[in-house]
Chains A and B, each alone.
Chain A
């Protein structure tokens, strides 16, 4: 009998949900759009880590071997070089403002000669102009690269006479190649496997997946409030069915929807984002760990939805509370702005958001090759959060029934 009652509840909720286009849009289209937009929009932010070159406009007014070597070194390194038509530094800045490049490098005449004069500041000969929309992080990376190349060229220029002497005496060629002084770089998020650097999609999919999962709060709370307002809840209380079965019949379809959201977002990351020119999501980590993270996030979101439903008196209140609450949890939880770019104090604040726990759980799996044990802490925190929300919702509802 209990199974019949449960099945009736599940079937009813699924039919209602399938007929609610607004809810389906909110649950599937919104996070999908976020994943696509953020994965594609943020890929340049992650490109420096991923090895993508930075676009640079260069005006070489020196034309010396040294200046050509500087341009070539930039080309080999972090920059995609576009040679400017104008030799004028001010016009170069105008080009930079209009164009898509992040930097402009102006090499003044006499740069080659100045290299060998240790007393001559190279700042008099090389000017770096930065586009206004270039991030500070990218600026620091490029400036470091430029400084390294110029230092290497100056050393080579200073030691040029010594190199000539060595060659004349049949000795070893002396040239400073700073590449020999570089450490090896390994991306550790995928243990034991050769990996590329993590891309924007690797960060965006988990983040917006968690965000979308929590938006279950709006359709679920609205359903519960409508039942209360229309007297259906009152009628159901008088029918020969336990409240537990009714609740399970209501939550089970939304839990399934949450799991479909997770699957859809992962598929979007794996197939749709690369089809649109972004990096493909790599499904790392263990499947049980991924499932555990998905279940725990869903449980927390469902508990949160029940609490909102018990607090709010109208569907409008629930939509406002749920929507605004989700935005706040997302903002402080590192969903909208990745945690690693936040200042230290803000990074600590993320610990209070269940969305941050969910995000960390998914990142543990997808980015750090996590196993079940790696996501256990986050999963436990989310499950406890869900239980606490459920208890609060029950308490609030019981008080409401008496008033």
Chain B
């Protein structure tokens, strides 16, 4: 199991009082130094899996290890979790929060000061450290949440929807920070509902639904399955005449202005020429964007169909 940063085999978990398992025989291999995406709808079992991996829930059945150390062992000095909630004290300043968590991690005064400066810099918090965390914007709170998780310089970092509910700028700061962490060799397990973000950041991913892994692969391999053939168009004016002209490309529209087509990349220039010939003025064009979202929805739909059929 030691070739992977995290290895999980046959993990099953049921909460006290529940009639069904929250996780069924989960198998995962998370490569060392990678950013691993964990996707799934609400209630799919992502948080349960993160809690088991981070050691905040006790393993009931199966095996789980960080490197060679079982997750039931002493993994706390090499792992950290950044929960979805603002897991800090709003009545303390940003600096006081960082100092407290550094103290709890057992860092010496000097090491704590170094790490606080580094983490605050990485998360672009240095200018607001003296302010009470409760007065921070949602984006600053998310960044403080992340900075606290990084204090102990963990080898494994679990990020539970670290960009949910914040503005684009703060999201970009966090994404940039995670990009920067990649070069340090840290392994990141990342859950998010933002597919573009996952697609941009993650090397490998697993999709969880109803407690089961429905897909697990490298990002490239997963995206190749669908080929990235979607073309999204927004025209300046509605053009009903295009319906017949684009029929060969499985074109769909909502109001003759927004179109979605399926075509390989080689046919892209031909379609653009066709549009120009019909006098279509393109306001916005996207090709191959949100491919992961489509795969994700398709996989979940397949899972639902199977359940309905069984």
Chain A positions within 8 Å of B, measured between CB atoms, are 1-2, 4-5, 7-9, 11-12, 15-16, 19-20, 229-232, 234-241, 246, 399, 401-403
Q: A238-B56, A238-B80 are in contact. Are A11 and B108 (CB under 8 A)?
A: no
B80 contacts across to A, CB distance below 8 A: 238-239
Contact B16 A402 (CB under 8 A): yes
Contact A8 B99 (CB under 8 A): yes
Contact A4 B86 (CB under 8 A): no
Q: A234-B56, A401-B57, A403-B15 are in contact. Are A239 and B85 (CB under 8 A)?
A: no
| A295 to B: closest C-beta gap in Å | 27
Pick from B74, B84, B89, B103: contact of A232, CB below 8 A. B89
| A238 CA to B54 CA, complexed, in Å | 6
Per DSSP, chain B at the interface is loop
Contact B100 A8 (CB under 8 A): yes
Pick from B51, B58, B76: contact of A239, CB below 8 A. B76
Contact B100 A230 (CB under 8 A): no
| A5 CA to B82 CA, complexed, in Å | 20
In addition to A12-B89, A230-B87, 10 A-B residue pairs with Cβ atoms within 8 Å of each other are: A2-B106, A4-B103, A8-B99, A8-B100, A229-B85, A231-B85, A232-B89, A238-B76, A241-B76, A399-B16
| A297 CA to B129 CA, complexed, in Å | 40
| A4 CA to B54 CA, complexed, in Å | 23
| A232 CA to B81 CA, complexed, in Å | 10
A234 contacts across to B, CB distance below 8 A: 51, 56, 81, 83, 85, 87
B57 contacts across to A, CB distance below 8 A: 401
Q: Please give me the residue from chain B that is nearest to A402 by CB atom.
A: B16
| B90 to A: closest C-beta gap in Å | 8
Contact B17 A403 (CB under 8 A): yes
Pick from B79, B88, B108: contact of A4, CB below 8 A. B108
A-B contact pairs, 9 of them (CB 8 A): A5-B103, A12-B89, A12-B100, A16-B92, A230-B86, A234-B56, A235-B81, A235-B149, A240-B76
Contact B104 A236 (CB under 8 A): yes
Q: A5-B104, A246-B104 are in contact. Are A237 and B55 (CB under 8 A)?
A: yes
| A7 CA to B80 CA, complexed, in Å | 21
Contact A238 B91 (CB under 8 A): no
B252 interface residue per 8 A CB criterion: no
A15 contacts across to B, CB distance below 8 A: 91-92, 96
Pick from B18, B55, B92, B103: contact of A7, CB below 8 A. B103
| A29 CA to B102 CA, complexed, in Å | 35
Contact B56 A231 (CB under 8 A): no
| A229 CA to B87 CA, complexed, in Å | 9
Which chain B residues numbered 103 to 151 have a C-beta less than 8 Å away from chain A? Answer: 103-108, 148-149
| A11 CA to B112 CA, complexed, in Å | 15
Q: Of A230, A235, A236, A246, which is in contact with the most chain B CB atoms at under 10 Å from its CB?
A: A235
A236 contacts across to B, CB distance below 8 A: 104
Q: Of B17, B89, B99, which is in contact with the most chain A CB atoms at under 10 Å from its CB?
A: B89
Contact A4 B17 (CB under 8 A): no
Contact A240 B77 (CB under 8 A): yes
Q: Please give me the residue from chain B that is nearest to A19 by CB atom.
A: B91
Pick from A1, A237, A402: contact of B106, CB below 8 A. A1
Q: A11-B100, A16-B92, A403-B17 are in contact. Are A239 and B86 (CB under 8 A)?
A: no
| A238 CA to B160 CA, complexed, in Å | 14
Q: Please give me the residue from chain A that is nearest to B18 by CB atom.
A: A403
B101 interface residue per 8 A CB criterion: yes
| A18 to B: closest C-beta gap in Å | 10
| A235 CA to B76 CA, complexed, in Å | 11
A1 contacts across to B, CB distance below 8 A: 106
Q: Please give me the residue from chain B that is nearest to A9 by CB atom.
A: B104
| B259 to A: closest C-beta gap in Å | 43
Q: Of B84, B100, B103, which is in contact with the most chain A CB atoms at under 10 Å from its CB?
A: B103
